[in-house]
A and B are shown apart, each in its own frame.
Chain A
Amino acid sequence: MSAAAEIAFDHVTKRYAGRDAAAVDDLALEIPAGELCVLVGPSGGGKTTALKMVNRLIPFDSGEIRIDGRSIYDLPLIELRRGIGYVIQQIGLFPHMTVGENIGTVPRLLGWPKQKISARTVELLELVGLEAADAKRYPAQLSGGQRQRVGLARALAADPPLLLMDEPFGALDPITRFRLQTELLRLHREVGKTVIFVTHDIDEAIQMGDRIAILRQGGVLAQYDTPDAILAHPADDFVKQFIGEDRALRRLALRTLEHIPLETAVEAAPGARLSKHTSVRNAVSQMLETNEEQIVVVDDDGSELGIFRLAATGALL
């Protein structure tokens, strides 16, 4: 596990030639090492532009971007890029290379010995949920979901401290997307890298982000905070509208029953038994559906942890 990098956008501005509005306007935000930061907003919000500035695919006009305190223009371009994992929506696997060769691209460029590369390839295939035998297949022989798993493995190959992901799951069907979102979160916990993740989907942002940066038209940062804080205190009407009217329910979805205060359970308390890993939102939904006033939260071993009452929901918001 390599160290994660801390990223700072220091008042970065970018204007495309011939356009009045800025693509990114005075963007200032700091992403702590090891966090997954989601850039989200409507199209024209400059989120992809902001992302591609970090690996210098798009130059900016003013300001500075720093990785671990060092300006990205202090490093040679090629060295900078080889130290940043890059995942895009269209994946961009090399069609003429096998899965293994695709994954080994950056390690080969870095001159790793062959054995180390093939060992790393096997390790990564397993990490992203593929089999070692898949290394010999060509991208054309894979499904969309499998391809994006390979794309992720390829980005992680040289163990970069920073991962840039540009709508990585945008082209996948909902079921595959959900599975990959879940796995990316697991993977993020395991490898502990800093991730900048671009999406236009606020649900995905809330599910994935340790922090969310909401960008509005013209590349202006509307709000930058944790999902819970944004849902609890939207900065303005734009953010309110963007996150939707059901923000109370969304906040409940962020927490599971094990993370809220419970009433002490009495012997043989009435009410359905729900696992402590259930989200508060789902627990509320179930009580409304069955017309019950309370449920009993149980641990993994079945022991009762306490009671959660429907009436206590308001206190959580």
Chain B
Amino acid sequence: MSGRLADGPVIPNFGHGDPCVTGDHTFCWSWVKAHWGDTLQPALIQHVELTAIAIGIGFVLAFTLALVAHRYRRAEQPIGVLSALLYTIPSLALFQILVPFTGITRTTVEVALVAYTLVILFPNIVAGLRSAPDDVLEAAHGMGLTRRQVLTRVELPLAVPAIIGGLRIAIVSTIAIATIAAFLLPQGLGYPIFNAVKLPTPFKTEIYSAGVLAIALALACDAALVGVKRALVPWSRRTA
């Protein structure tokens, strides 16, 4: 990151004398076009990677823990309290706590992101698994479904809306929190923002363009999940 600062003492990626850029106007399309390939696009791709890994691992962990908590009810409270405690640690502090163990690596960032994902997904999945009405469960048992069949054929399908609801919150908040990863690593959409903020005069165009990309990414993921839910949960649409 220091190389960039050395190039231009005031304006990042300085090199051509666009008056919009040199004057730090509110928003310069010319800078975005010139630096899409070397700054914004890589940051966006890294951001998607950071988020996808966090959500993927977080979901598998949360799902497994939720199944355990659903099967052994006594396990729910300890898991819930532990993950809620994790959530109270500020992300910056959590990065610093982890650095001695995992170094200044993507692993450190992912551990923190996964922890936050867990806090959101775990209670949502547990609530989803519990959302099957008593009469439905009684009918299922009375008809001779085994415990496993009750889980796979009744409880899990009925949990899908709650699970997707949790995923929506988890993805949107992970995309937001992942920008802070740039505090540690030159990665993600937080990195251009950090660079721009660090300048004596923060460079507005870089802050706005990276910020808007993060927002757009969050909205796009959220919309995609709404579509997935529509496809998976045809039964909740009342069209009597």
30 A-B pairs within 8 Å (CB atoms) are namely: A55-B142, A57-B138, A81-B141, A81-B142, A82-B143, A84-B142, A88-B142, A90-B134, A90-B135, A90-B138, A91-B139, A92-B138, A92-B140, A93-B139, A94-B136, A94-B153, A95-B235, A96-B157, A96-B160, A98-B235, A105-B145, A106-B143, A106-B144, A109-B144, A109-B149, A138-B234, A140-B235, A141-B239, A141-B240, A142-B240
In the complex, besides A88-B139, A106-B143, A154-B143, 12 extra interface pairs with C-beta distance below 8 angstroms are A55-B142, A78-B146, A84-B142, A86-B139, A88-B142, A90-B135, A94-B154, A96-B235, A98-B235, A105-B143, A140-B236, A142-B240
Whole-angstrom distance from the CB of A195 to the nearest CB of chain B?
15
Any B CB within 8 A of the CB of A127: no
When the two chains form their complex, are residues A80 and B139 in contact, meaning their CB atoms are under 8 A apart? no
Task: Across the interface, name the chain B residue whose C-beta is closest to A95.
Answer: B235
A93 and B238 alpha carbons, distance in the complex (Å): 15
Closest 4 CB pairs of A and B: A92-B139, A81-B144, A90-B135, A82-B144
- Residues of B with C-beta under 8 A to A105: 143, 145
Choice from A83, A98, A140 contacting B240 with Cβ under 8 Å: A140
Any B CB within 8 A of the CB of A79: yes
When the two chains form their complex, are residues B235 and A97 in contact, meaning their CB atoms are under 8 A apart? yes
Interface on chain B toward A: helix, strand, loop, or mixed SS?
helix
Any A CB within 8 A of the CB of B158: yes
Give A52-99 interface residues, CB cut-off 8 Å to B. 55, 57, 77-84, 86, 88, 90-98
When the two chains form their complex, are residues B158 and A86 in contact, meaning their CB atoms are under 8 A apart? no
- Residues of A with C-beta under 8 A to B153: 94
Choice from B135, B141, B146, B154 contacting A91 with Cβ under 8 Å: B135
Query: Could you tell me which A residues sit within 8 Å of B by CB distance?
Result: 55, 57, 77-84, 86, 88, 90-98, 105-106, 109, 138-142, 151, 154-155, 164
Choice from B138, B235, B236 contacting A88 with Cβ under 8 Å: B138
Whole-angstrom distance from the CB of A53 to the nearest CB of chain B?
12
When the two chains form their complex, are residues B142 and A57 in contact, meaning their CB atoms are under 8 A apart? yes
When the two chains form their complex, are residues A88 and B143 in contact, meaning their CB atoms are under 8 A apart? no
Interface on chain A toward B: helix, strand, loop, or mixed SS?
mixed
Of the listed residues B133, B144, B158, B239, the one surrounded by the most CB atoms of chain A closer than 10 A to its CB is B144
A106 and B141 alpha carbons, distance in the complex (Å): 11
- Residues of B with C-beta under 8 A to A81: 141-144
- Residues of B with C-beta under 8 A to A91: 135, 139
A42 and B136 alpha carbons, distance in the complex (Å): 26
Interface string of B33-51 (1 = CB under 8 A from A): 0000000000000000000
Interface string of B193-226 (1 = CB under 8 A from A): 0000000000000000000000000000000000
When the two chains form their complex, are residues A57 and B143 in contact, meaning their CB atoms are under 8 A apart? no
Interface string of B129-173 (1 = CB under 8 A from A): 000011111111111111001000110011010000000000000
When the two chains form their complex, are residues B145 and A92 in contact, meaning their CB atoms are under 8 A apart? no
Choice from B134, B136, B137, B157 contacting A93 with Cβ under 8 Å: B136
Question: Given A81-B142, A81-B143, does the pair A88, B135 have CB atoms closer than 8 Å?
Answer: yes
Task: Across the interface, name the chain A residue whose C-beta is closest to B239.
Answer: A141
- Residues of B with C-beta under 8 A to A55: 142
A55 and B145 alpha carbons, distance in the complex (Å): 12
- Residues of B with C-beta under 8 A to A95: 136, 158, 235-236
Of the listed residues A83, A106, A109, A154, the one surrounded by the most CB atoms of chain B closer than 10 A to its CB is A109
Choice from A78, A86, A92, A164 contacting B136 with Cβ under 8 Å: A92
Of the listed residues A91, A106, A139, A140, the one surrounded by the most CB atoms of chain B closer than 10 A to its CB is A140
A300 and B154 alpha carbons, distance in the complex (Å): 51
Task: Across the interface, name the chain B residue whose C-beta is closest to A108.
Answer: B153
- Residues of A with C-beta under 8 A to B133: 90, 92
A151 and B139 alpha carbons, distance in the complex (Å): 9
